[in-house]
């Protein structure tokens, strides 16, 4: 944006926003120019609206002046969706952070988009309720960001993803119109499902300003077990075998040896629980309300694992504190890998669960001939793998190799009936690979939907669509 447009815009915005809601100095804005991808794009202005009406007024003005607007939540995104790649305005929803209602009788909640996921869980616990979609970024990510990305989480294998809990949304369209879609009914098949369309739209169609969700009674009992294995492929086989035995865990996660060792370095307090010599670990949790039934399920998993080829150790968490420590190992995987300080590329591929062992082995095969290092971990129960390729940016050969490997992993996942991204979204990191998965007709249809919502193309431009397709 040129300085003149910025000045015109700010003069008008001062008519309804307080000075503290407008940031234009470089220092202040530098806080909003990056997300968990660690890429940086400087906006021209950052605005912190406190209500839907303010968001609407901002959008009306931005639309009139053709200004790009990038909605932002907690900036924990891993595909760069919240980055203002075309400059313009960053609209941070962090001040719209009220839990407006907890309706215990109907097991529903109404929240503003800036509510932090963990704050909601803490509040719901007081009512013996829980909101299953709780990503590992729970301490920083917002409900608005979780809806915009259709976030997954460790318990999605049993409870489904964010989409399965959202009943209604209030949202502001790019021209400033406020819409209320869906609502508080459990059923609704009136016309097209606009709520479903906005969920996972990565802030490119509308700005979510209020969210109505269903919540569930909190399960009283959780049993957590950990298995260490001497082979990564065998870990994927174990996951498929557990489901094949008719058991539905609420979470089943896995990590490879590089992830395990990075966490061991990063979390010295968990050292006694970690086996550095293992090639893989599988973390399984079952939950329920009856001690005997839940314990029976956990025991079946342990019995199955102990007799499974490749398992070198299988153990229960003895109490909640130990279970929490085991979960910490998995939750801290990404920060632990990043703490190694190397540059990295990340894939968030997902395949049908029964294909997981094939994908894991195919990735191992590709990696075997490379010099770059690769860590694989993720939501094995969902067939969702996070593959982190570590390389040195200044080393051109490594950068090239990392990019080649990334494309190869995407292609392999898609050949196996999988998808480019299971939960992190396309954003800017995966958009150039969209054509591997989607046909030209499918991309064109998505672009027509984008145009119907945002004819001027001002909302979160530069995301999802490959560059040459606009």
Ligand X SMILES: Cc1cc2nc3c(=O)[nH]c(=O)nc-3n(C[C@H](O)[C@H](O)[C@H](O)COP(=O)(O)OP(=O)(O)OC[C@H]3O[C@@H](n4cnc5c(N)ncnc54)[C@H](O)[C@@H]3O)c2cc1C
Give the residues lining the site for ligand X (CB under 6 A): 35-36, 70-78, 81-82, 93, 113, 135-137, 141-142, 144-146, 148-149, 151-153, 202-203, 207-208, 334-335, 423-424, 460
Q: Which secondary structure element, helix H or strand E, spans residue 257, and what is its range?
A: helix 257-266
Q: How far is the CB of 436 from ligand X (least distance, A)?
A: 21
- Closer to ligand X at the Cβ: 46 or 314? 46
Rounded Cα distance, 116 and 83, in Å: 19
The residue among 297 and 348 lying less far from ligand X, judged by its C-beta, is 348
Q: Which residues of 357-371 are buried (b: 16+ CB within 10 A; e: fewer)?
A: bbbbebbeeebeebe
Query: Is the CB of 56 or the CB of 141 nearer to ligand X?
Result: 141
Q: Across the beta sheet with 45-47, what order do the strands follow?
A: 22-23, 45-47, 89-92, 69-72
Residue 113 Cβ vs ligand X, minimum distance, rounded to whole Å: 4
Closest to ligand X by CB, 152 vs 357, is: 152
- Cα 281 to Cα 339: distance, rounded to the nearest angstrom: 21
Residue showing tokens 């996942």: 413
How far apart CA 168 and CA 16 sit, in angstroms, is 28
- Cβ-proximal residue to ligand X, closest one: 145
Q: How many CA atoms lie within 13 A of 341 on its CB side?
A: 0
Q: Based on CB atoms, which residue is closest to ligand X, 118 or 404?
A: 118
Give the shortest CB-105-to-ligand X separation in angstroms. 28
Q: How far is the CB of 454 from ligand X (least distance, A)?
A: 12
Minimum Å distance from CB 184 to ligand X? 20
CB-nearer residue toward ligand X: 72 or 108: 72
Closest separation in Å from C-beta 70 to ligand X: 6
Cβ 204 to ligand X shortest distance, Å = 7
Taking the complex as a whole, the smallest distance from the CB of residue 141 to ligand X amounts, in Å, to 4
* Cβ nearer to ligand X, comparing 153 with 228: 153
- What is the C-alpha end-to-end distance of the chain, expressed in Å? 20
Tokens of 239: 């996951």
Task: In angstroms, give the least distance from the CB of 102 to ligand X.
Answer: 20
Residue number, 275 or 456, with CB nearest to ligand X: 456
CA–CA distance, 188 with 373 (Å, rounded to integer)? 48
Asked if 401 contacts 371 with a C-beta cutoff of 8 angstroms, the reply is yes
> E strands of 41-188, at which residues?
45-47, 69-72, 89-92, 99-103, 108-111, 129-130, 166-172, 178-182
Question: Closer to ligand X at the Cβ: 311 or 356?
Answer: 356
* CB-based contact 239:380 (threshold 8 Å): yes
Q: Give the separation between CA 28 and CA 22, rounded to whole angstroms.
A: 10
Would strands 108-111 and 207-214 be described as parallel, antiparallel, or unpaired? Answer: antiparallel
């Amino acid at each position: 944006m040129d300085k003149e447009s910025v000045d015109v815009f700010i003069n008008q915005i001062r008519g309804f926003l307080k000075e503290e809601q407008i940031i234009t100095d470089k220092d202040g804005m530098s806080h909003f120019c990056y997300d968990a991808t660690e890429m940086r794009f400087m906006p021209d202005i950052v605005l912190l609206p406190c209500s839907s009406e303010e968001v609407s007024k901002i959008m009306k003005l931005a639309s009139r002046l053709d200004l790009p607007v990038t909605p932002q939540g907690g900036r924990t995104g891993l595909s760069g969706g919240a980055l203002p790649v075309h400059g313009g305005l960053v609209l941070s929803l962090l001040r719209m952070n009220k839990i407006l209602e907890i309706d215990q009788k109907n097991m529903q909640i109404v929240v503003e988009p800036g509510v932090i996921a963990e704050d909601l869980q803490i509040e719901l616990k007081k009512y013996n309720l829980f909101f299953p979609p709780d990503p590992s970024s729970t301490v920083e990510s917002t409900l608005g960001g979780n809806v915009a990305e259709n976030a997954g989480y460790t318990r999605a294998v049993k409870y489904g993803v964010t989409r399965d809990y959202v009943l209604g949304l209030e949202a502001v369209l790019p021209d400033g119109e406020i819409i209320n879609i869906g609502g508080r009914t459990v059923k609704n098949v009136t016309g097209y499902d606009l709520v479903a369309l906005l969920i996972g739209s990565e802030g490119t169609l509308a700005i979510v300003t209020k969210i109505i969700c269903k919540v569930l009674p909190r399960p009283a009992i959780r049993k957590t077990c950990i298995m260490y294995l001497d082979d990564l492929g065998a870990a994927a086989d174990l996951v498929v075998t557990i489901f094949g035995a008719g058991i539905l865990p609420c979470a089943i996660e896995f990590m490879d040896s590089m992830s395990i060792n990075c966490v061991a370095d990063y979390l010295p307090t968990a050292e006694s629980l970690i086996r550095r010599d293992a090639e893989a670990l599988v973390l399984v949790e079952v939950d329920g309300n009856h001690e005997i039934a839940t314990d029976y399920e956990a025991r079946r998993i342990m019995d199955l694992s102990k007799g499974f080829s490749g398992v070198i150790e299988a153990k229960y968490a003895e109490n909640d504190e130990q279970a929490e420590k085991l979960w910490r190992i998995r939750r801290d995987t990404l920060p632990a890998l990043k703490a190694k300080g190397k540059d990295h590329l990340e894939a968030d591929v997902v395949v049908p669960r029964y294909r997981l062992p094939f994908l894991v082995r195919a990735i191992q095969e590709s990696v075997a001939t490379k010099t770059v290092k690769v860590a694989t971990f993720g939501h094995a129960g969902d067939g969702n793998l996070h593959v982190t390729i570590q390389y040195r940016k200044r080393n051109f050969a490594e950068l090239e190799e990392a990019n080649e490997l990334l494309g190869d992993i995407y292609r392999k996942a898609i050949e196996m009936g999988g998808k480019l991204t299971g939960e992190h979204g396309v954003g800017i990191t995966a958009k150039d690979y969209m054509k591997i998965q989607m046909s030209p007709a499918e991309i064109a249809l998505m672009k027509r939907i984008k145009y119907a919502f945002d004819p001027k193309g001002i909302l979160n431009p530069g995301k999802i669509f490959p560059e040459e397709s606009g």
